[in-house]
Structures are given as structure tokens and as C-alpha cells.
A and B are shown apart, each in its own frame.
Chain A
Amino acid sequence: MNLKRIGSWAIFILAVIYFLLPLVGTLEFSLRARRGVYSLDAYRNVLDDPQFQQTLAYSVILSIATVILGVLIVAPTAFWVRLKMPRLRPVVEFITLLPLVIPPIIIVFGYIRLFNTSSILPLTGSARGTDFLLAAGYATLSLPYMYRAVDTGLRAIEVQTLTEAAQSLGAGWATVLARVILPNIAVAILSGAFLTFAIVIGEYVIAALLNRPAFGPYMVWMGSNRAYEPAALAVIAFGMTWASMGVIQLLARRTRFTKG
């Protein structure tokens, strides 16, 4: 046991303490709602709250819409760029990385000004329009992850061969995409989808500024009005994030095995 190893263990253990304590603390705090004993009261209060059910359902539906929108935008383009327009690749990649550079608050600020009721595209004028705008904003946020996931998936299959084979059997472009390419990159799309879900489900800034009843604003409202319920919400939110990430890991492992 040399000095280097002792130092490494010390750093590792310190990191474990720092990263574990907030998780343990949240769990413990969420169980403290009843005086003197641990109970699940905070969770019961949260789960019984109709606001919780509504906002969570809203965010889940919205994240599904986001994923569908994201796939519709990213998959055909990634496929097309790979197959026919490789020179466009750097441009497309650059655009998909922009949402990592421009803070979401700026993007939503632009939305509010650009799509207000007196503009050519008055999306913020109606609830449905704002919902669409929110989904579009989330699809924008997820562009970097979605594009990379889909592109990795495409790299692993023989795009050219599959396309030509399908075409020689008489398939049109829509058929090639929907029935040949998409099923072959389904795992990659799914991992992009779950990452999107993890990012979208508790998002606060865009939802709050567009004034939609999403899960993020609900959590903030609970945070300033309740004591123990926010901790329960945090545990639930962490649980959902971990579950999504776990699914992604599983998917990644599955592809590795099927490839091997």
C-alpha cells in the first residue's frame, strides 16, 4: 500500500461522502413529515395532490411529444446527411451543438418576443400554441443528445447497403426510413429519448416563462410553500432520472452484446 494509493482512496472517499450525503439527506428529510417518527406522509401528501398528478402527467405527455418531434427532425436529416450530403455534416453538427452554448433562458426569451400575439406566428396566443412552443423548445434543448444518439446508431449499421437493398425491392424513401432505417437504430433512438425525458421532466425555466403547468414550476411552488414535500419530490425526480439513465445503460449494453 503506497502513498499514491492511500491518497487516491482518500480522494475517492471524500468524493463519495460529498456526493452521497445530499442523497441520504434528502431521503431522510422526506421521511420526517410526522413529528418524532419516520413516515411516508410527505410522499402520501405529494402523490395525493391533484396538482402533482396533473403537472407530472402534463410533463410526461410533453416529453413524449418532444421525443417524437425530435426524432422527426433529427432522424431523416442524420440519415440523409450520412447517405447523400456528407459535406453538410459539420454544419448540421455545429447547429446541433448550439443549444449547449446558448442558455435556455435566452432561447425562451427570444420565443416570447418572436411568437407573441402580434407577430406573424402568434404561438403564445393560445394554450395549444404555447404547448407546441414548449415542445419545440425542449426539442431544441435535446438536439445535441438526440443527434449524437441517432448518428451513433447510423454509424453502426450499413446505411448505404440497407437503403439500396430496400430500394431495389421497390421501397420509396418514406418506406426506407420508416421500415428499414428506423427499426435498425431503434435502440439508439430510445437512449436519446430517455436522455431527453430526463432533461425535460423537471425543466423549470422554459416552462415557467411560457407559463405552462409543468412539473418543474410545480416543484418550485412546493419548495416555497411546504417543508418536507419538496424533499419527497426530489427523491421522486431523482428516481425518474436514475431510472432513465439505467435504461440507457441497459440499452448500451444490449447493443454491445448484439454487436459482439
Chain B
Amino acid sequence: MSSLLPHRLERSLSLWLGVLPFFVFALVFLVLPTLHVVIGAFTRPDGSLTLANLSDLMSGTILSALWLSLRISLWTACLGTIGGLLVAGAVIRGGLPPALRDAVMTFSGVASNFAGVPLAFAFIATLGRLGLVTVLARDWFGINLYATGFNLTSFSGLTMAYLYFQIPLMVLIITPAIDGLRGEWRETAESLGASGVQYWRMVALPVLWPSLLGAFALLFANAFGAVATAMALTGSALSILPIILFAQIRGDVLQDPHLGYAIAFAMIALTGGANVIYIWLRLRAERWQK
């Protein structure tokens, strides 16, 4: 067989053989399943093309779920970006003991992966109706948390839980950018008479801006794709889009798989778009980190 093939071709074939398992695996278990979902969003059960599935997204329950998902993702991305920037700034540039920095980075590495069922349990045990903070607020300060309108299985509760992985993720992403702020810039600003606030407003923030926006996009995608935390925390009390999709896949609610494909496509488009923005802005931001 090999004698029949030209030498060059044989060589390049054996080259490709080395990476074949990877590409076959990625094709079968990553690319094709995703493509199947995407194509399904644009076809009818008989295979003909249509945009009807996507326009069905604009109906009552799904539209409100999409809106809720958007709000929770934007809101936790916003608070996560600010919170993470504050924590990272305080630890790196705030004059705190250097040992704290290592501790915060290690913790962030772990906590950014905490999304999921145990995180929901932790918040139920802390802020649920019998949770530690709820009980202590009642016994020590006479405050009934749940009478103030707070509810863990609501928007505000889910936001608090999401921030537990959003802030650490932000700390991890933004640290290189803050490290990239050069000391000379600060000295120059100070020698020109700038105050600390002026330095941050007119030098540091403009330099950090692409990194911040990019991080915001990544945090948005991160929150938008999360399912397990919300499901374990609220049951189905809070219908975010992925929970609707989950129910649809299980066959509980909607009977039309192509509507499910359309929901899935909307999710890919949003998380994918956010990631593209993140990557593009990060490439821009890295100019300052050399």
C-alpha cells in the first residue's frame, strides 16, 4: 500500500495520524452535537429551513425567562466586575501584606470553580429561613431578614450566590492587568500633582478599561450558562433560560424539540458573543502588559 503512495503524501498522512484521535473526538463529542443543536434551531421537524423556531422564542414564558437570565447575568457581571476589581486592587496595590495576595489568589482559584449544587446548599445554610445569618440577625439584633423582603430564592438571593464565583473569577482575570500598571505612571502622575483619585480616574482606569469590559463580558457568559446553582437554590421558582431548557430536554414542559434547539441557539449566541468580545478586548489590553 505504502509503495503506491507518493512519499510526500505518505509522510503528511502519517503526520495527521498523530492528531487524528483528538480531532475525531472533538468532532464527535463537541462540534457535531453543537452543530446539531444550531441547525435544529433553523429547521422544521421535516428538515426544511425556517425562522419560526427563533420567532417562537419571543413568546410569553420564554421571553420572560430570557429577560430574567439577561438581567441576572448583567447584574452579577456588573457587581462581580466592580467587586473583583476592588478586591484585586486592595490586595495588589493597597499596601496590604504580600502574603495576603497569595492567599487571595489561591482562594479565588478554588472559589471560581464553586458554582454548582454545594454552593446553593451553602447559601441555604447561611441565608435560608433557618440559616446562620438569618438566625443570628434575629437573635442578636432582632432583625427579621425575611420581613425586610429578602428572599434567598429570589433575584437578590441568586445574585448573592452568583457573586460567590463571579468575584473570584474577576480577581483572577484582572490581576495581570493590575500588575501591568507601571509604577512610573503613578510616580509621574504624582509628580505632576495628581491625587490618588485623579491617578485612578485619569491614568489607571483608562488603561484598565479594555480589560474591565472584557472581564465583564466573560462574567456575563459565565453567569448565563450556569444552571446547577440556580436549580439547587430555587428549585424552579426562578425560571432562568437554562432552567427552561433543562425542563424542555427532560420533556417536562414543552413538547417541541425545535423550540428547545432555538433556546439553545440563543444561549450559544449570547455566551459565544460575549466570549468573542472578551477575547478581542483582551488582545487589545495585552498591549499594555508587555
Q: Using a CB–CB distance below 8 Å, which chain A residues touch chain B? A: 2-5, 7-9, 11-12, 15, 18-19, 21-26, 28-30, 72-74, 76-77, 80-81, 84-85, 88, 92, 95, 98-114, 121, 136-137, 139-140, 143, 173, 198-199, 202-205, 208-209, 216, 219-220, 223-224, 227, 230-231, 233-234, 237-238, 241-242, 245, 249
Q: How far is the CB of A237 from chain B (nearest CB, A)?
A: 4
Q: How far is the CA of A114 from the CA of B15 in the complex (A)?
A: 30
Partner of B268, one of A21, A84, A102, A139: A102
Question: CB-CB < 8 A to B249: which residues of A?
Answer: 105, 108-109, 112, 209
Given A8, A26, A74, A85, which contacts B94 in the complex, CB threshold below 8 Å? Answer: A8
Q: In the complex, which residues of chain A have a beta carbon less than 8 angstroms from the beta carbon of B246?
A: 105, 205, 208-209
Main secondary structure of the interface of B (DSSP, over half): helix
Interface centre among B96, B100, B232 (most CB of A within 10 A): B232
Question: Which chain B positions have C-beta within 8 A of A249?
Answer: 106
CA distance A30 to B132 in the complex (A): 11
Q: Which of B138-146, B202-210, B220-228 contacts A (4 or more CB under 8 A)?
A: B220-228
Q: How many residues of B contact A (CB 8 A)?
A: 78
Inter-chain contacts of B126 with A (CB < 8 A):
21-22, 24-26, 29
Interface class of chain A by DSSP: helix
Q: Give the complex CA separation of A219 and B121 in angstroms.
A: 9
Chain B min CB distance to A95 (Å) = 5
B268 touches A245 (CB 8 A): no
Lowest 10 CB-CB distances: which A-B pairs, in order?
Answer: A110-B33, A8-B94, A25-B126, A103-B225, A29-B125, A25-B132, A80-B18, A77-B22, A234-B121, A8-B90
Q: Is B180 an interface residue (CB 8 A)?
A: no
B117 within 8 A of partner (CB): yes
Instruction: Please determine whether A113 and B22 come into contact, CB atoms closer than 8 angstroms.
Output: no
Task: Tell me whether B228 and A205 are in contact (CB under 8 A).
Answer: yes
Per the bound structure, the CA–CA distance linking A230 and B268 in Å amounts to 32
Q: Is the CB of A85 within 8 A of B260?
A: no
